[in-house]
Every structure is written in structure tokens, then in C-alpha cells.
Structure 1
Amino acid sequence: MIQPYVNLTIEDKVGVIEFFHPNRNSMPSDVLHKLEQTIIDAGNNEVIKVLILKSGGNRTFCAGASFNELIAIENAETGKQFFSGFANVINAMRNCPKLIIGRVQGKTVGGGVGLAAATDYCLATQYASVKLSELSIGIGPFVIEPAVSRKIGKTAMSQMTISAETFYSANWAKEKGLFAEVFETTEELDDAVNALAKNLSSYNPEALKEMKKVFWEGTDNWDVLLKERAAISGKLVLSEFTKKTLKRFRKD
């Protein structure tokens, strides 16, 4: 079995950050922390002009939080620390001075939707359906909500949250603004992602940096807000309802 990893590769001024976990690219704390630090490091690397965020494998982009780790949480502080992992990654993406292109090749759930929403420009395949399942397991998409609502609006975000067992199609996500373009195949997706990254890497890096600031205007409070949201999820994950539900879906 391939071990979880987060890798950064650099080619022609483009940095590619790839994360992987054998359980459908789920996100335990160690992967979240490594992803956060890799984004920070890439943002500080003067060689890199633009970033691509992708996951390994050909199917699921990201299954969200690690259920095994959620089940093991025994107190609110530990719960807050776990969900702060997602908060820290989103804030690292928000604060990164480089534009981040999202490459979503397959289904994405929960925190994975938050990652896609926190990219500056996201491309996907027709197989990249999205779901916010948190309410169905007794918590809610509190941490990622600001990023998701910023991209698709509060109404669409509420629809996804309430219909917690529904996968919404990639074309639906495009209509709402989560994805900029949807492609039939992964090959077409990769061609488009690479072409876009190549073009952006040739632009004035100062202009890109200033434009990113404009894209994220009004989010200066997220360092505090997302930690407050992490505390809410960290408390709810201790409920008997959530513990029982997670054990039904648990995968090793």
C-alpha cells in the first residue's frame, strides 16, 4: 500500500503540490499539517510563480476528514485541534502570495470541497461531483463554510449542507462558481491546468500578487473565524450521535 504523502515539485516556475492518502485521499492531521507547511514554503519560494494543487490517484480528489481520527477524539480541545488542521490549510491558501490553481479529477466530499473552494481558480473533470456530508454525521461544514460560501454563495452552500447525502454534479458546481471549467477526461483537465499555469507563470509576478490580495479582500478575520468554527465542530464530534454514525462508515 502506498503511504500518505504531500509532495512539492517545481518545473518552469510552476510549483505542483500533490497530496495523497490510500483511503480516498482523506485528510488526517499529519497530512493536513504537511499540506499547510508545504503551501507556506511554496509561497515563500521565489522560484515559484504559480501553484497547482492536486491529489494523487485517478478517482477521488479528497474524501475530507479522516473518520478513524474523528472517532478517536475524546475531548473538545483535541477536536478543535483536528478541525483547526483544515482551518490552517485554508488560511495558508488564502495568505499564499501565489495564485493557486485547483485540479479536481474526481469526487470530493466535506473538507475536500473546502480545499477546492480555497483555490483561486479551479478546474475539474465531469466526474468531480461534490458533497457536504457533515450534517448527516452530526457535525456541520463550519470550518469550510466561509470558503465555500465565498465561491458559490450562501444559498447554494445551504442547499449542499441540508441535502447532506446528495452528490451534486461537476456541471452544477460549475454553474454555481466552484469550478471555472469542466472537462470530459483527466487528460483534457491536465492539458488545461498546465496551459493555464504556464501562461500565468509568464505574467508579472507583482501583478499576480496584488491581484490575489484583491480576490481575498474582506477575509482578514478568517484567522480567528475559522478557529472559532473549528471549536464548534470539535465539540459536536464528541456527541453520541456522531460517534455511532462514524463507526458505521469507518474504513481502515
Structure 2
Amino acid sequence: MGTTRPNGSLYTKIENKIATIEFGHPASNSFPSELLERLANEFHILSTNDEVAIIVLKSEKEKAFCAGASFDELIAIDAFEEGKKFFSGFANVINAMRKCSKLIIGRVQGKTVGGGVGLAAACDYVLATEQAAIKLSEFTIGIGPFVIAPAVKRKVGVSGLAELTLDATSWKSAYWAKEKGLYARVFENIEELDKEIEIFTEKLASYNPEALYEMKKALWLGTEHWDALLIERAETSGKLVLSDFTKKALAKFKK
């Protein structure tokens, strides 16, 4: 049973030092701004919680992992500041994940688009199913995945980022994502995925918390400038979303 709330839902469960954050939205687990804000705050809160050693990020239901940012909000943007604020949503979440003192394990059970690919890329380790294909379709509406690009590039490299962004209408398989380094392992079905997540996170949670924290810092070394960079990228998208090209493309999509 998924959420029916228009602003989506966010629940955190803490058990045996493992915090599981589960987000949901009736529109294929997409993110309105309010839900992105709540998710960023949740990472900040868990970062300082001594009862938590590891974080698992997952979404509701069995189909899409995340359809990116809210389409309804996107088409309603009609001023630069609004656009900048909208695109800063994913910037703030990625930065919160980057600065979180706990390692974040992503559970990607299904298809992922746009900002959802950015979320997966900002996890420290991702386990997925064969159904977890990815796509960056931003070019088709006249914008680009500028905010999430640094996180995606950090995992799949410049060539992988180019393949994803320039071929904006094609899905890349879960095995492509694994080969490129976005996913660590790919499983046949959700049952196998969940079994492995349980085993893997239990192991991780039993390790020295200080060692885990030092590893988290080591993995993200060299990204300290992202606070400013991702907001600059949000400004780029905020300008583009007001272009005639994008307005026409969004009007077509709306129909």
C-alpha cells in the first residue's frame, strides 16, 4: 500500500543501529519540494544520532524507485527565484547525503529517472534489482541534469554521464549502471535484494563506528565545494526552465 498524500510521505525506522528512510509519492515516488526538504532534514538529524550506524534509503511499492522532481511543480515555475528554489531541492538533499556522518546504502528496486538517479549516485553503496533501469531525460524538455551531474559523474565518469544525458530518450539497464559503478550489485528480484540488504547492513553496523565515519569522509574527499557548486547549477536550471523551448516542451507533455 503506497501513500496517497499529495506531498508524499517519509518514514524512518531505527532498528539494531540501522535507520531505514522510506519515501513515497503517488506519482511514481517523485519529489515535491516539501518532501525533498524533509528528506534533507532527515539526513541531518540521523547524522548526529548515536543510535544509528548505517542508513538505508528506499522507496515505497515495487515499481519505480523514483521519478525525479515533481512535474506539477516544474510546470508551475514562472520566475527565476522560484526555479532556483525548485532545483535547489535536490542540491540540498545531495549535500545533506554527502555531509551525513553515516554511510548511506541505497535500495533501488525499480526504474529511476532524473533526480532519482542523482539520489542513487549520492548513496555510498547501492544494491538494485534487474528492473532498476535509469534515464536522464532532461534534454527532452529543454533543461539538463545540472544539479545532479556532479554526483552522477563521480560514480559513472564523464563518458557515462555523456551517454546518459545525450541519449535522453533511452533507458540504460541495471547492468549498465553496475558496470559503470553506480550500482554495486544487481539482484533478480526484490526478495533477493532485501535479503542481501539485511545481511549487508547488519555486517556494516557491527563495524567500528569511527572507522565507518573516517571511511565516509575519505569517500567524499574533494567534494567540499559542492555546497556552492550545486546551488550554481540550480541557478542554471532555473534560467533554462523559463526558456521558450522549455515552456513549449512542457506544454506538450502536459497535454
TM-score over 0.5 for the pair: yes
Work out whether 1:27 is the aligned partner of 2:31: yes
Which residue in the other structure is 2:53 paired with? 49
Aligned to 1:78: 82
Structure 1: where are the runs of 5+ without partners?
A: none
Alignment match of 1:167 (pick from 166, 171, 190) = 171
Amino acid at match of 1:144: I
Normalising by structure 1, report the TM-score.
0.98
Matched, 1:237 2:241: yes
Contact 1:67 1:246 in 2 (8 A): no
CA distance in 2, matches of 1:249, 1:212: 40
The answer to which of 235-244 and 120-129 deviates more is 235-244
- Return the match for 2:195 from 191, 196, 199: 191
2: CA distance, partners of 1:173 / 1:249: 27
2:217 aligned residue: 213
Give the match's secondary structure for 1:65: coil
For residues 8 and 250 of structure 1, the distance between their equivalents in structure 2, rounded to whole angstroms, comes to 34
With normalisation by structure 2, the TM-score equals: 0.97
**Relative to 1, partners in 2 of residues 1:250 and 1:54: Cα closer, same or farther, differing over 3 Å?**
farther
> What is the CA–CA distance in structure 2 between the aligned matches of 1:217 and 1:74, rounded to whole Å?
37
Q: Which position in structure 2 is the counterpart of 1:128?
A: 132
Over residues 189-215 of structure 1, what are the superposed CA-to-partner deviations in whole Å (9 max), with x where a residue is unaligned?
111111111111000000000000000
**What's the counterpart of residue 111 of structure 1?**
115
- Whole-Å separation in 2 of the counterparts to 1:104 and 1:133: 19
| Shift, 1:246, TM fit | 2.1
- Percent identical across equivalent pairs? 59
Is residue 230 of structure 2 the alignment partner of residue 226 of structure 1? yes
Counterpart of 2:242 in 1: which secondary structure?
Answer: coil
The separation in 1 between residues aligned to 2:69 and 2:147, in whole angstroms, is 12
Work out whether residues 67 and 250 of structure 1, in 8 Å CA contact, stay in contact via their aligned partners in 2: no
Paired residue for 1:11, among 11, 15, 33?
Answer: 15
Aligned to 2:67: 63
Aligned to 2:151: 147
Task: Please name the residue that 1:2 is paired with.
Answer: 4
CA RMSD between the two structures = 1.0
1:39 is displaced (CA, Å) by: 1.1
Amino acid aligned to 2:250: L
Question: For the Cα contact (< 8 Å) 1:7–1:18, is it kept in 2?
Answer: yes
| Residue among 42, 51, 73 paired with 1:38 | 42
* Unpaired stretches in structure 2, ≥5 consecutive residues: none
* Paired letter, 2:159: T
Partner secondary structure for residue 2 of structure 1: coil
C-alpha distance in structure 1 between counterparts of 2:29 and 2:224, whole Å: 29
Structure 2: distance between partners of 1:22 and 1:165: 23
